[in-house]
Amino acid sequence: MEGEICLTAIIMCIGVCTVEATSPTPMGTSESRYTTVPTLTTPRIHLVFLHEPYFGVVAENADVGTTVMQVTASGSPRIDPSRIQYSIAQEDEQGFFKLNETTGVITTSSVIDREAGLEDKSAPRVFTLIIQVRKSV
């Protein structure tokens, strides 16, 4: 959308206890820490995820609403932090996580049972969330 800038991070929850965030490069690799997509109207404004990589812990069978981690983005001094909005662009099909669009806090939206539905009970469960950050003009 015109007037917006966007930043995306891929967040993986592996084995239900570790969360990691990385930012993909425009070429689709994960070598770069940051990626920005400026608009034509604001070419010098950019957003970056802070404190990468992110790590969080959530216990199996944790209560709904348990905080997993918080992602934080920042921009140039011209970006008002209150106008930065977080969203889940793509998530696991079960929808185990919820993201506060203002604070970037990721919480559980249902109880996660690592063994439920798995044919191989010893295999770790992997969840992938793609978090997007936008700043509207």
CATH number at residue 97: 2.60.40
Overall domain count for the chain:
1
In angstroms, the CA 6 to CA 65 distance is 27
**pLDDT tens per residue, range 39-95:** 333 344 577 777 767 766 778 888 999 998 888 888 777 777 778 888 888 776 677
pLDDT value at residue 101? 92
Could you give the CA distance from residue 96 to residue 111 in angstroms, rounded to a whole number? Answer: 7
Q: How far apart are CA 70 and CA 122, in angstroms?
A: 29
Q: What is the pTM of this model?
A: 0.64
Residue 34's domain comprises: 4-136
Residue 56 to residue 13: CA distance in whole angstroms: 9
* More confidently predicted of 134 and 6: 134
